[in-house]
Structure 1
């Protein structure tokens, strides 16, 4: 995880946790940077406004109403957990998600094959997060492609997709991005393949995007009705 947003290092989970816990400090720093600049000798330092003054000037609603302190503290604790122990490895070790490098053949003339193995991630929430980020990178890369007519740039295959594409109303983090990829991928030269053992556990809108369907043996009436 790299990059900055409003001057915050998005890979510094401790710093993000502090902002989530007390966001008004960061809002004031962002809105009134002159209050935090070093001043020369003889110059008057600009006073830092109170949060009440900031809300009044910018017509802001009190975020306490939308995001109570108990909720913020819980989110801050979860963010802090990503900066230590096994959780930290997800963001600091391994091969970066770089689709350009994934599609580059290691041996000229050969087709590269990249396998993303998720079973080493024990926490289901982290699996969802990782698949979401992988899908985001793939979607962003996909939008930059200008394939020739009929050219296949990449084949995206997902096995056991049910946890990531469950039927409505369940909406795990990766679902919307994967749906977007399956909906738009063709025109960018990306083909998609899904595999599941139980078709009734997958959102029918995803199945409707498939041009070709391979069906095995069904024993349950609801699965037959679904197809």
Structure 2
């Protein structure tokens, strides 16, 4: 099956009044080229639906990059290949008051029974579970932590890429994002178009990278104090960034280098989205970048760098009319806010929503709170999946984003009445609205995973 003909079996389709079952809900994979937005309040089943979408993409051999903010999506690593209760036992929550903190056998057996009954009701048996395990692989990257695989966020700066030999524009974009992160960590402006410090560091780093060397911060600090160049642009270095300001920048970078917490951001896997999307031993990959352990400011900085690298990778691809990869961002609230707010994540997210489809890459953005989203960007989405929304303001904002007349649209009334795990779907390529009841997830949804649990999930079963 090619991704031109692949159909993502998400659950059951029902008539908009909920009275008539219309068979399986199968979303053609290429419909996601025009992106999707999933909206639903807490308890609507939104994260479960996003998990099912990722599972179906993997079954269709479509690689997925998942941005995880709350810690729920690492549950994808718990897609056990059978109904054997022993596989689930370490992950089942014990009953309240259980003294040893380990679920007793009856509790485990009941959880395993519910999982088996739930999956079999959707015609998913052990053959399908084993096939998913055999044909896909899940890895969890944890920037700033070794719970999953550590991620070297400054690899575009401190580890020379072969991209400098064949894709200078892409290499510069990745370098620019890394330098922006470094400057923001020192409390400076990281905007490449406004920051003189950014221009200085970019010129110094690129000179080293073009010579075939790496550009670690330790090597750049002495060059900041005594630049090996005379001019930046048309101005002498001392006129562009005076020696006093260069000294302050060097001192702040040295403090950053000496920080033990910063050291964890400079070790681990390279930030290479293209490599993440390649098959591993013939298996289709799902790469989860989990930032649940970081604070809000760190999340924005880290994901800004990751998304800039995603955008650079997308732009390096040839055009395609098939879905070659999927980018999934759960809980996007706060990362793509309306004007004038502009966190580091906004620019690459807006660009991906506008441009990625031409390169065969689809985006799925999900949120509980639709109020603080830039709907000018999200209006590029062709598929909207709407769960229950409690407030009038949330419902009105979604109807507005879809370009419908609030007084005439039936969407507001529909999403107000929805029950748990029911969604209204508006697909630009489908003739009419319908209801979706998502299938049971093949992964065991045990809730947000802690750092220690992510570490434990990496161990061989």
Task: Indicate which of 160, 166, 173 corresponds to 2:337.
Answer: 166
Shift of 1:127: 2.1
Match runs of 1:4-153 below 5 Å: 4-7=205-208, 12-17=216-221, 22=225, 25-26=226-227, 29-31=228-230, 58=235, 62-63=239-240, 69=245, 73=248, 76-77=251-252, 80-93=255-268, 95-108=269-282, 110-120=283-293, 122-148=294-320, 150-153=321-324
**3-state DSSP of counterpart to 2:290:** coil
Cα pair 1:13 1:80 within 8 Å, conserved:
no
Higher-RCO chain (CA-CA 8 Å, sequence separation at least 6): 2
Cα pair 2:277 2:325 within 8 Å, conserved:
yes
Cα pair 2:353 2:378 within 8 Å, conserved:
no
Matching residue of 1:191 = 362
TM-score, L = length of structure 2? 0.37
Name the one with the larger strand percent. 2
TM-score, L = length of structure 1? 0.71
Cα pair 1:156 1:192 within 8 Å, conserved:
yes
Matching residue of 1:176 = 347
Change in Cα spacing, 1:80 to 1:181, as seen in structure 2 (3 Å) is farther
Shift of 1:85: 0.5
Please give the alpha-carbon distance, in whole angstroms, between the structure 2 residues aligned to 1:10 and 1:127. 26
Shift of 1:103: 1.6
**3-state DSSP of counterpart to 1:114:** strand
Shift of 1:189: 0.3
Q: Which runs of 5+ in 2 are unaligned?
A: 1-154, 161-204, 399-461
**3-state DSSP of counterpart to 1:115:** strand
Cα pair 1:105 1:111 within 8 Å, conserved:
yes
Shift of 1:62: 4.0
Shift of 1:147: 4.5
Cα pair 1:147 1:153 within 8 Å, conserved:
no
**3-state DSSP of counterpart to 1:182:** helix
Please give the alpha-carbon distance, in whole angstroms, between the structure 2 residues aligned to 1:77 and 1:125. 19
Query: How many aligned residue pairs are there?
Result: 194
Shift of 1:180: 0.6
Please give the alpha-carbon distance, in whole angstroms, between the structure 2 residues aligned to 1:85 and 1:60. 32
**3-state DSSP of counterpart to 1:194:** strand
**3-state DSSP of counterpart to 2:278:** coil
Change in Cα spacing, 1:162 to 1:17, as seen in structure 2 (3 Å) is farther
Cα pair 2:272 2:309 within 8 Å, conserved:
yes
After alignment, is 76-85 or 174-183 more displaced? 76-85
Matching residue of 1:154 = 325
Change in Cα spacing, 1:147 to 1:79, as seen in structure 2 (3 Å) is farther
Shift of 1:18: 5.6
Shift of 1:86: 1.7
Matching residue of 1:45 = none
- Cα deviations across residues 23-64 of structure 1 (Å, max 9, x unaligned)? xx32xx3128xxxxxxxxxxxxxxxxxxxxx9xx94789446
- Cα deviations across residues 55-95 of structure 1 (Å, max 9, x unaligned)? xx947894469x984x97378526632453121111222x2
Please give the alpha-carbon distance, in whole angstroms, between the structure 1 residues aligned to 2:361 and 2:238. 44
Q: CA RMSD in A?
A: 3.3
Shift of 1:12: 2.8
